[in-house]
Amino acid sequence: MTAVETTGDAGAHNGSGKLQAAARDSVKTVIAASMVGTAIEFYDFYAYGTAAANYFPTVFFSDTTNPTVALLLSLVTFAVAFIARPVGSMIFGHFGDRLGRKKTLVVSLLTMGISTFLIGCLPSYDQVGLLAVVILCVCRFAQGIGLGGEWSGAALVATENAPENKRALYGSFPELGAPIGFFLSNGTFFVLESFNDEAAMTSWGWRVPFLLSAILVVVGFVVRVHMEETPIFRMAQERNEVVKAPLVEVFRKSWVQVLQATFLVAVTYTLFYTLATWSLSWGTKSPEAGGGGLGFTNREYLLMLMISVVFFALFVVISCVTADRIGRRRVLMFSSVALVVFAVVFPYLLMGTGRRDFVAVMVFLCVGFALMGTAFGPIGAFLPELFDANVRYSGSGIGYNLAAIVGAAFVPTIATWLSANWGVQSVGLYLGVMAVCCLIAVISCRETKDADFTK
C-alpha cells in the first residue's frame, strides 16, 4: 500500500470518527435543522395544492365559464414551482458545494418562506384582473427556486452527521417533514373550514395557511442560524477537495446518477399528489366540475387525509430502519413492485357516483400512504450516497428536483384530464408506468449501504 493510500485510509477513518462524535453531540439540532425546513416545504406545497384544487379556480379564474377548465388552469399554476425547482437546485447546489450546507439552507428557507407568505397577500382576479394570475405565478416560481435548494441540503445535514450504520435512519428526519407539513397544512384548512362557510373561505380563509407559514419560517431560521456546518463538508475543505464548478463536475462525471435519482424519486411525487391533490378533487367535486362525484365534503376528505398520513410517517421510519439493515435497493424494489399492484387495484376503490364509501376511500389512502412512506423513506440516504461529497448537494438536488417535474408538476392536471376523459383506471395506469420506471432505476443502481460517505 502506498503512503498516499495509507494517508487516505487514515483520513477516512479519522473522518468517520469525527462524524460519529458530531452525530452524538448534535442529534437534536440535526433533527430540528433537517426536519423543520422540509416540514415547511411540504406545508407550503400542500397548502398550495389544497387551495389550487378548491379555491383558486374561483379566486383567480372566475371569468372562466367552464368549472373543469377553471380547475385545470388553477392546477397548471401548481406546476410552475416544480419547473423552477431544478433551477433552484442548480443555484443552491452550486453554493452548497462551494460555501457549505448551512449558509445555503438559511437562504433557501427565507426565499421559500417569503414567497409563500406573499401568496397569502395577493389580490384576486376580480380586483386586478389578469395581473393577479401573473403575480401568483411569479410568487410560485420564486417559491420553487427556494424549494429547489431545500430538500438536498436538509438530507445532507442529516446524513453527513449520521453514524455509518444509521444513515438511512438519520435520512428519515427530513423525510418525516413531509407528513408533518402535510398534517399541519390540512389541519389548518380543516379548522378554518369547520368555522367558516365556502364564501368566507373563498373570500379570505384560504389566505390564512399561507400567512401562518411565517411562524414556521422564523422557527426554521433560528434553528439553522445556530447549527454547525456538517463534518463531511469541513473535511472536504480541509482536504482541499471543494470544486469550483460543482455543476460541471456533476454533469461530466455523474450524469448517470442524476438520471437514476430522477426516476427513483419521480414515482413518490406521482403517488403523493395522486393521493393528496387529485383524489381530493375526485372525492369532493361533481363530474361536471372535474371530480368523481363520490359525495364527500371537503372537510370530510381533509380529515381522512389527516388520519391516513400517519401511515406515511410510520412507514418512513420502518423503511429506513429496514434499509439500514438489508440495504436501500431491496426496500425500493419491494415498494416499486407493490406500487404496480396498487396502481391496478386502487381505481376499483374510487368508483360509484355518490357512494360516500368511507371504508373504500380510507383503504385507498392508508395503503397508498404506507407505500409512499416505504418508497420515500430510504431516498433521504440513497440519493446523497450516489454522489461524491464535493458534488453531493448539486447532484442529489438536481436529481430530486428533476423528479419533481417528471413525477409531480403536472400530476393533478394530467390525472384530472385522464379521469375526466378515460375514467379512474387511466390514473392507475399512469401511476403504474411511473412505478415501473422507478423499478428500472433501482435495478440499475449499486447498493450504497456500506459506501464510504466521506469521499
**Which tens digits make up the pLDDT trace of 87-105?**
988 898 888 888 878 888 8
Q: How far apart are the C-alpha atoms of 185 and 171, rounded to whole Å?
A: 23
pLDDT reading at 1 higher than 50: no
pLDDT of 356 above 80: yes
| Contact predicate 40/213, CB 8 Å | yes
Residue 327 has pLDDT above 70, yes or no: yes
Tell me the average pLDDT across 344-361: 86
Mean per-residue pLDDT, 237-260: 84
Mean pLDDT of the chain: 85
Question: Quick one: pLDDT at residue 7?
Answer: 38
Q: How confident is the model at residue 276 (pLDDT cuts 50, 70, 90)?
A: confident
User: What pLDDT, on the 0 to 100 scale, is given for residue 83?
Assistant: 84
CA dihedral defined by 43, 48, 53, 58, rounded to 10 degrees?
140
Residue 309 is predicted with a pLDDT of 93
Question: Do residues 63 and 125 make contact, with C-beta atoms less than 8 angstroms apart?
Answer: yes
Q: Write out the E strands in 133-181.
A: none
Contact present, 11 and 209 (Cβ < 8 Å): no
Residue 4 has pLDDT above 80, yes or no: no
| pLDDT at residue 3 is higher than 80 | no
Give percent of the chain above pLDDT 90: 35
Mean predicted confidence (pLDDT) in 115-129? 90
- pLDDT at 40 (0 to 100): 82
| Span 28-72, pLDDT tens digits | 778 888 888 788 877 887 788 788 878 888 888 876 667 777 777
Specify the pLDDT at position 64: 63
The closest of 256, 236, 258, 221 to 117, measured between CA atoms, is 221
Give me the CATH topology for the region 3-444: Growth Hormone; Chain: A; (1.20.1250)
Residue 26 confidence (pLDDT): 63
Rounded to two decimals, the pTM is 0.82
